[in-house]
Amino acid sequence: MKYDYIIVGAGLFGSVVAERIANILNKSVLVIDKRNHVGGNCYSHVDPDTGIEYHVYGTHIFHTSSRRVMDYVNRFTELNGYHHQVLTVHNDKVYQMPINLETINSFYGTHFYPQDAYEFIQQEKARDAVASPVNFEEKAISQIGRPLYEAFIKSYTAKQWQIDPKELPPQTFSRLPIRFNYNEDYFIDARWQGIPINGYTDIFNKLLDSEKITVQLKCDYFENHEQLFYNKKLIYSGPIDQFFGYKFGRLSWRTIKLETHCHLGNDFQGTSVMNYADSDVTYTRIHEPRHLHPERNYQNNKSIIFYEYPEYNPQDPFYPVNTSKDKKKLTQYKELALKKQDLIISGRLGSYAYYDMDKTILAALDCFDKLCEEMKRS
Ligand SMILES: Cc1cc2nc3c(=O)[nH]c(=O)nc-3n(C[C@H](O)[C@H](O)[C@H](O)COP(=O)(O)OP(=O)(O)OC[C@H]3O[C@@H](n4cnc5c(N)ncnc54)[C@H](O)[C@@H]3O)c2cc1C
């Protein structure tokens, strides 16, 4: 059968574009995914043993300040009002993350007021800061000083990325702000945040529920592309380097591995995500998904927990590492992609960018707008 569009990847990017094409353009779409489920990395599943819904590829908290994204999401789900907080263990003590006034006071054993803490941190920074940081470590020290960096950031980052933080670009640190108040809301700037009330997979089932959309799972594009026919466009949301046969070399990615445990008792750690900052603990985080849905009030005397370990698995890329070599290769791949008329490469893997879910939805809505403009012109 010939479809108007073929979309590779039933993740958030592919599913939003498919929904728009089917419902607005009334065109047929074949969505393929090599996994055995829709939803990409946002996929959620109910554990049959505990009845707890969890995010199979790692905890996902929806957060956005984009009215456009929220208006779109509201059509498929309500959010449950969950607000994300992160804690971290260092030398067997628990601290709040990102670093705030509580973290500073507990770590230094002080009772600073905001202005005192601010001035103290300026002095800490001045001791070791460099004027123009060229890597993650220098940037972090220039923003929080060496002692806080070495306690909370250095070993955690080295574990997470499996490389020396000096090898990471300075921009990676901008994701970790410092606060001089007691606000512990992780997504402090987000106008909306929460977990979809019926889980993420429910959204995907709704997005793809159209007679114009055919979903084929366990279908790898590279094993089947000769049999896939379309007359308008191929929309590909897999890794861009793989699409071009790694012509300019492989882009580097990091992945995580989750080890599942069942805890007897209603609550293992009292929060959804606990970070482990020290190098002698091999895992980076423990996730306890029951806390993501407080409104469900699970009462089963069991909790499912996940130990997170860093991993490099080229078969399952998660986060772009983005070294300077990667940036060069990416430019070459993007130039190639632009030369292909009937092809769009996007999404998290296609763009080789760390997109949160709201950015992925925006990218998908923008992609659809471009398709419409092209149709008007042709
Ligand atoms: C561990 C983790 C935690 C995250 N936490 C958050 C969070 O808390 N909040 C937030 O906003 N965002 C979070 N994100 C980001 C979020 O997961 C992404 O924004 C979103 O999943 C991107 O959607 P996508 O469709 O671009 O990519 P994906 O979800 O990766 O989907 C791509 C799909 O393409 C398929 N595919 C690839 N190659 C092929 C092929 N050759 N043939 C067929 N199918 C193929 C894959 O199987 C996959 O299903 C997190 C990401 C990760 C990895």
Query: How many folded domains does the chain comprise?
Result: 2
Indicate the SS3 state at residue 11. coil
* Active-site residue flag, 369: no
Residues 239, 330 share a domain: yes
Among protein residues, the one with the nearest Cα to ligand 1's atom 53 is 318
Q: Which residue has the tokens 């005192």?
A: 116
Residues 364, 221 share a domain: yes
Residues 347, 239 share a domain: yes
CA 160 to ligand 1 centroid distance, Å? 18
The range of the structural domain enclosing residue 167 comes to 110-175
Residues 367, 225 share a domain: yes
- Name every residue whose Cβ is closer than 8 Å to that of residue 158 and which is 6 or more positions away in sequence: 164, 165, 279
Of 175, 196, 222, the one marking the end of a domain is 175
* Active-site residue flag, 308: yes
pLDDT of residue 176: 66
Among protein residues, the one with the nearest Cα to ligand 1's atom 23 is 12
Contact 53, 46 (CB under 8 A): yes
Residues 11, 126 share a domain: no
Substitution candidate for ligand 1 out of 13, 20, 38, 41 with most atoms within 8 A of CB: 41
pLDDT of residue 319: 87
**255: in domain:** no
* Active-site residue flag, 175: yes
The CATH number covering residue 328 comes to: 3.40.50.720
Substitution candidate for ligand 1 out of 54, 66, 348 with most atoms within 8 A of CB: 348
Residues 24, 145 share a domain: no
Of 175, 194, 225, the one marking the end of a domain is 175
Catalytic member of 54, 82, 184, 285? 285
- Label residues 96-118 b or e (16+ Cβ within 10 Å = b): bbbbbbebbbebeeeebeeeebe
**281 strand-pairing partners:** none
Q: How far, in Å, CA of 14 to CA of 11, rounded?
A: 5
Pairing state between β 273-276 and 86-90: parallel
* Active-site residue flag, 250: no
Residues 229, 141 share a domain: no
Half-sphere exposure of residue 186: CA atoms within 13 angstroms, side-chain side? 20
CA 354 to ligand 1 centroid distance, Å? 10
**89: in domain:** no
pLDDT of residue 315: 79
* Active-site residue flag, 373: no
Residues 356, 233 share a domain: yes
**140: in domain:** yes
Measured in whole angstroms, how far is the alpha carbon of residue 360 from the centre of its chain? 10
Atom in ligand 1 nearest the alpha carbon of residue 318? 53
Residues 213, 163 share a domain: no
Is 263 near ligand 1, meaning CB less than 6 Å away?
A: no
Residues 339, 213 share a domain: yes
Of 134, 158, 175, the one marking the end of a domain is 175
Catalytic member of 20, 33, 138, 179? 179
- Tens place of pLDDT for every residue, the chain, 378 residues? 789 999 999 999 999 999 999 999 999 999 999 999 999 999 999 999 999 999 999 999 999 999 999 999 999 999 999 999 999 999 999 999 999 999 999 999 999 999 999 999 999 999 987 888 899 999 999 889 999 999 999 999 999 888 899 988 888 777 667 899 999 999 999 999 999 999 999 999 999 999 999 999 999 999 998 888 778 799 999 999 999 999 999 999 989 999 999 999 999 999 999 999 999 999 999 999 999 999 999 988 999 999 999 987 777 888 888 888 999 999 999 999 999 989 999 999 999 998 999 999 999 999 999 999 988 887
**325: in domain:** yes
**335: in domain:** yes
**128: in domain:** yes
Residues 371, 326 share a domain: yes
* Active-site residue flag, 348: no
Q: How far, in Å, CA of 141 to CA of 134, rounded?
A: 12
